[in-house]
C-alpha cells in the first residue's frame, strides 16, 4: 500500500475508534488512573538517546496508546518515515527531498538524491566548518590588523537564526571563553545598532547566513554591517578576514563581495528551520568547537536511529506526536506550552514555535484538499520558574486545557549551591499540581486547619479549587550538553514529522510567509516615495501616517 492510499484522517476507522474512546477517558481522571496502577510511571516512560520521557501524566490508558498507534499505522507512518530517510522528494510543493537527517550521518553512510550520494559533500562541508571554527577559536584566524576575534555576529533570520541562536544560548556553559556570539535577525536597525555599538570592528567576525541570500532583512543588515566595517577604517580587501557566508547561492554571495573560500555551502534539500545541522550551525561550532558540534550531530543521529528503528509503541518522537494529536484533535486543545526548566533553554520555545507552527500550520492536505481536522496548535512558552509567576495561573485554573512539555536537565551547568534542587523541585511540583489539582474538600480542610471560620472558608472554596487532570510530559536529560541538545531537537523534529503525516500536510514548505513579504515590498516602495497603490482604507491610512513620519 502506498502513502497516497492511506484513509483520510477524521473519517478513518482508527480515528472513529479514538473518538469513541475519548468519552471513556473523559470519565476518568488522572488521579484515578495513578491510584489504579502503581506501575504507571514505568509503563509510560521511555528512554532514548540519553533522554527520558515521562508521559504518565497524560489522559491515556494502554488502550488509548494502542488506538493512537493504530492511527499512525493506518496513516502509513513507517512508509512515510522511510521515504524521508531515503531521500524521496517528500516536499512535494517544492519538489525537494528532505534530508536534514543526512547532515548528522556518520562518515561511511550513503544517501542518494537523484542517484548521487550526498554524503561526501556533507562531510566535506562539515570538515571545513570544523576547521574554520577551530582556527578562529585557536586564534590562528585573526582580523585584518592581526587581532584575535572576540565577537561573532551571525546575521540571518528565521531558520538561519533561531537554531544557532537557541543552541549557542543553550550551550553557553560549554562555550569558548573568548568568543561572544551575537545574533542579529530583525530588519529593525535597533538590533544591529546595539550589537555594533558593543563590538570592535578589528576583532569582529560577521557570518551572513542565508540559504537564498536574497532575504531582505538579512541583506539589509549585512549591507549595513559591511558599511559600518568599512567606515571604521578597514579597506575592501579586509572584508575577507571579517565576513563569511553560509548559503546555497554562490552567485549572490560573490556579488555581495564574499570570496568562495569564505563561503560554506549547503543544499536545497535542507529546509531553513531544519538547517542548524548544516553550515548554518557555524556559530555553534565556533561556540562549542568542532568536537562539541559533532557531539550535537551524534546526539541527533542517535535519535534518528531510534526514530527509524524502534517499534512505534516505544518510539519517543512517535509517542510525543500522538499525544499531541490526542489533545489537539480529541480534546480541542488549541495550544501547547513549552516550559524548559533551564534558563539556558530560554530560546527553545521560540525555536519550537517555528519548527512546529511553520511546519504544520497548514489547512490543506498534501493533495490540496481542505484538512479534515484541526492541525498544529499554537506553541508558546517561557522558562520555569519564571512562567510560574506569570501565566501558570491560567494553566492551573483557566478555562482551556493546555498540555505542557516540561524539559529539564538533571545536573546544573553552574556551581551555585542549592539552586538546581529548587529548580527541579518546582518543575516536578508543577506537573504534579496540574495533574492532581485540589478538591473542594481538600480546600475546606486546609482552610479549617488555618483557623478560618466555616462561612468565610466556604466563600473562598471555589476560588481555591484546582480542577487538576491537566496533562503534561516531562523530558529529562542528564545535563544540557551538545549531545543531549542534539537528541532533544531531533526528537521534536521527528515529532513534527509524525504529526504532519497524521494530519496529511506537507511539513516542509512555508507558503504562508510569502504574501506578507510581497505586500511589504510594495509598501516599502510607497514609503520611499512611489505613488500610493490601490489599498483598503486602513492600509492607506497607515501608509499615509508612516510616510509622513519617515519622509
Task: Kindly tell me which of 96 and 396 has the beta carbon lying closer to ligand G6Q.
Answer: 96
Q: Which stretch binds ligand G6Q (CB under 6 A): 58-66, 206-214, 294-302, 454-462?
A: 206-214
Question: Beta strand pairing status for 45-48 and 51-54?
Answer: antiparallel
| 211 is a site residue for ligand G6Q (CB under 6 A) | yes
Question: CB 221 → ligand G6Q: shortest distance, Å?
Answer: 11
Task: Kindly tell me which of 327 and 508 has the beta carbon lying closer to ligand G6Q.
Answer: 508
Q: Which stretch binds ligand G6Q (CB under 6 A): 34-42, 266-274, 332-340, 379-387?
A: 266-274
Alpha helices in 27-149 (DSSP H): 30-36, 40-43, 62-74, 77-86, 119-137
Question: CB 358 → ligand G6Q: shortest distance, Å?
Answer: 6
| 507 is a site residue for ligand G6Q (CB under 6 A) | no
Q: Is 494 a residue of the active site?
A: no
Q: Is 420 a residue of the active site?
A: no
Q: How far apart are CA 503 and CA 10, in angstroms?
A: 9
Alpha carbon of 549 to those of 3, 48, 60, 210, 397: distances in Å? Answer: 55, 56, 57, 31, 45
Q: Bridge partners of 96? A: 91
Question: CB 512 → ligand G6Q: shortest distance, Å?
Answer: 10
Q: At what angle do helices 13-26 and 62-74 cross, to 10 degrees?
A: 160
Which run of H or of E encompasses 117?
strand 116-117
Whether omega before 389 lies within 30 degrees of 0, making that bond cis, reads: no
Task: Kindly tell me which of 376 and 477 has the beta carbon lying closer to ligand G6Q.
Answer: 376
Q: Which stretch binds ligand G6Q (CB under 6 A): 90-98, 164-172, 265-273, 334-342?
A: 265-273
Whose CB is nearest to ligand G6Q?
Answer: 158
- Of 9, 87, 143, 158, the one binding ligand G6Q (CB under 6 A) is 158
Q: Bridge partners of 406? A: 339, 474
| 510 is a site residue for ligand G6Q (CB under 6 A) | yes
Q: How far apart are CA 47 and CA 306, in angstroms?
A: 10
| 212 is a site residue for ligand G6Q (CB under 6 A) | yes
CB 470 within 8 A of CB 401: yes
- Of 58, 76, 215, 385, the one binding ligand G6Q (CB under 6 A) is 215
Signed CA dihedral, 86, 91, 96, 102: sign only:
negative
| 385 is a site residue for ligand G6Q (CB under 6 A) | no
CB 347 within 8 A of CB 169: yes
Q: Is 517 a residue of the active site?
A: yes
| 154 is a site residue for ligand G6Q (CB under 6 A) | no
Task: Kindly tell me which of 320 and 350 has the beta carbon lying closer to ligand G6Q.
Answer: 350
Q: Which stretch binds ligand G6Q (CB under 6 A): 58-66, 83-91, 154-162, 454-462?
A: 154-162
Q: Bridge partners of 340? A: 407
Residues in the interface with ligand G6Q (CB under 6 A) total: 14
Find, among 496, 441, 105, the residue nearest to 298 by Cα. 105
Question: CB 186 → ligand G6Q: shortest distance, Å?
Answer: 13
The active-site residue, picked from 389, 455, 463, 514, is 389
Task: Kindly tell me which of 50 and 159 has the beta carbon lying closer to ligand G6Q.
Answer: 159
CB 206 within 8 A of CB 253: no
- Of 61, 76, 154, 160, the one binding ligand G6Q (CB under 6 A) is 160
- Of 61, 91, 218, 474, the one binding ligand G6Q (CB under 6 A) is 218
Which one-letter DSSP state was computed for residue 87?
T
- Of 273, 306, 444, 494, the one binding ligand G6Q (CB under 6 A) is 273
CB 270 within 8 A of CB 139: no
The active-site residue, picked from 358, 382, 493, 526, is 358
| 271 is a site residue for ligand G6Q (CB under 6 A) | yes
List the grid coordinates of 360: 504544520
Print burial letters for 351-370: b (CB count within 10 Å at least 16), e (below 16): bbbbbbbbbbbbeebbeeee
| 281 is a site residue for ligand G6Q (CB under 6 A) | no
Could you list the residues that contact ligand G6Q (CB under 6 A)?
157-160, 210-212, 215, 218, 271-273, 358, 510
Residues with active-site annotation: 358, 389, 517
Amino acid at each position: 500500500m502506498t502513502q497516497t492510499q492511506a484513509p483520510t484522517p477524521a473519517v478513518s476507522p482508527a480515528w472513529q475508534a479514538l473518538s469513541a474512546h475519548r468519552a471513556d477517558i473523559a470519565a476518568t481522571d488522572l488521579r484515578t488512573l495513578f491510584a489504579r496502577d502503581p506501575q504507571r510511571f514505568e509503563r509510560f516512560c521511555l528512554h532514548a538517546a540519553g533522554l527520558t520521557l515521562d508521559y504518565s501524566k497524560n489522559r491515556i490508558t494502554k488502550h488509548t496508546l494502542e488506538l493512537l498507534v493504530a492511527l499512525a499505522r493506518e496513516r502509513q507512518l513507517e512508509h512515510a518515515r522511510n521515504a524521508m530517510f531515503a531521500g524521496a522528494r517528500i516536499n512535494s510543493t517544492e519538489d525537494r527531498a528532505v534530508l536534514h537527517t543526512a547532515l548528522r550521518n556518520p562518515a561511511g553512510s550513503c544517501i542518494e538524491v537523484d542517484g548521487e550520494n550526498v554524503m561526501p559533500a556533507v562531510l566535506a562541508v562539515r570538515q571545513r566548518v570544523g576547521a574554520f571554527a577551530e582556527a578562529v577559536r585557536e586564534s590562528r584566524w585573526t582580523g585584518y590588523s592581526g587581532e584575535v576575534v572576540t565577537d561573532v555576529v551571525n546575521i540571518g533570520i528565521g531558520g538561519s537564526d533561531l537554531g544557532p541562536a537557541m543552541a549557542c544560548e543553550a550551550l553557553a556553559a560549554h562555550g569558548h571563553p573568548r568568543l561572544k556570539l551575537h545574533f542579529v535577525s530583525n530588519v529593525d536597525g535597533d538590533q544591529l545598532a546595539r550589537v555594533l555599538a558593543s563590538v570592535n570592528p578589528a576583532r569582529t567576525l560577521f557570518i551572513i547566513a542565508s540559504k537564498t541570500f536574497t532575504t531582505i532583512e538579512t541583506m539589509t543588515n549585512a549591507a549595513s554591517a559591511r558599511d559600518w566595517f568599512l567606515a571604521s577604517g578597514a579597506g575592501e580587501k579586509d572584508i575577507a578576514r571579517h565576513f563569511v557566508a553560509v548559503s546555497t547561492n554562490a552567485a549572490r554571495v560573490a556579488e555581495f563581495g564574499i570570496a568562495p573560500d569564505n563561503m560554506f555551502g549547503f543544499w536545497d534539500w535542507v529546509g531553513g528551520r531544519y538547517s542548524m545541522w548544516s553550515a548554518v550551525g557555524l556559530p555553534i561550532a565556533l561556540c562549542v568547537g568542532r568536537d562539541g558540534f559533532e557531539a550535537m550531530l551524534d546526539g541527533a543521529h542517535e535519535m534518528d536511529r531510534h526514530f527509524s528503528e524502534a517499534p512505534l509503541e516505544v518510539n519517543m518522537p512517535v509517542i510525543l506526536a500522538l499525544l499531541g494529536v490526542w489533545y489537539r484533535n480529541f480534546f480541542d486543545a488549541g495550544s501547547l506550552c513549552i516550559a524548559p526548566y533551564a534558563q539556558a533553554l530560554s530560546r527553545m520555545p521560540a525555536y519550537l514555535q517555528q519548527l512546529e507552527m511553520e511546519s504544520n500550520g497548514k489547512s490543506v492536505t498534501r493533495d490540496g484538499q481542505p484538512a479534515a481536522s484541526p492541525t498544529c496548535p499554537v506553541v508558546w512558552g517561557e522558562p520555569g520558574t519564571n512562567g510560574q509567576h506569570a501565566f501558570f495561573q491560567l494553566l492551573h485554573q483557566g478555562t482551556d486545557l493546555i498540555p505542557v512539555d516540561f524539559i529539564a536537565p538533571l545536573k546544573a551547568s553552574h556551581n551555585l549551591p542549592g539552586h538546581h534542587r529548587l529548580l527541579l523541585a518546582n518543575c516536578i511540583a508543577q506537573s504534579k499540581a496540574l495533574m492532581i489539582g485540589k478538591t473542594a474538600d481538600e480546600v475546606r480542610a486546609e482552610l479549617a486547619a488555618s483557623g478560618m471560620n466555616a462561612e468565610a472558608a466556604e466563600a473562598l472554596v471555589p476560588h481555591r479549587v484546582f480542577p487538576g487532570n491537566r496533562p503534561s510530559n516531562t523530558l529529562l536529560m542528564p545535563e544540557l550538553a551538545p549531545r543531549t541538545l542534539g537528541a532533544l531537537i531531533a526528537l521534536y523534529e521527528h515529532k513534527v514529522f509524525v504529526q504532519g503525516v497524521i494530519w496529511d500536510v506537507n511539513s516542509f514548505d512555508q507558503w504562508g510567509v510569502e504574501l506578507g513579504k510581497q505586500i511589504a515590498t510594495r509598501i516599502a516602495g510607497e514609503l520611499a516615495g512611489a505613488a500610493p497603490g490601490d489599498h483598503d482604507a486602513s492600509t492607506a491610512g497607515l501608509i499615509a501616517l508612516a510616510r509622513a513620519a519617515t519622509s
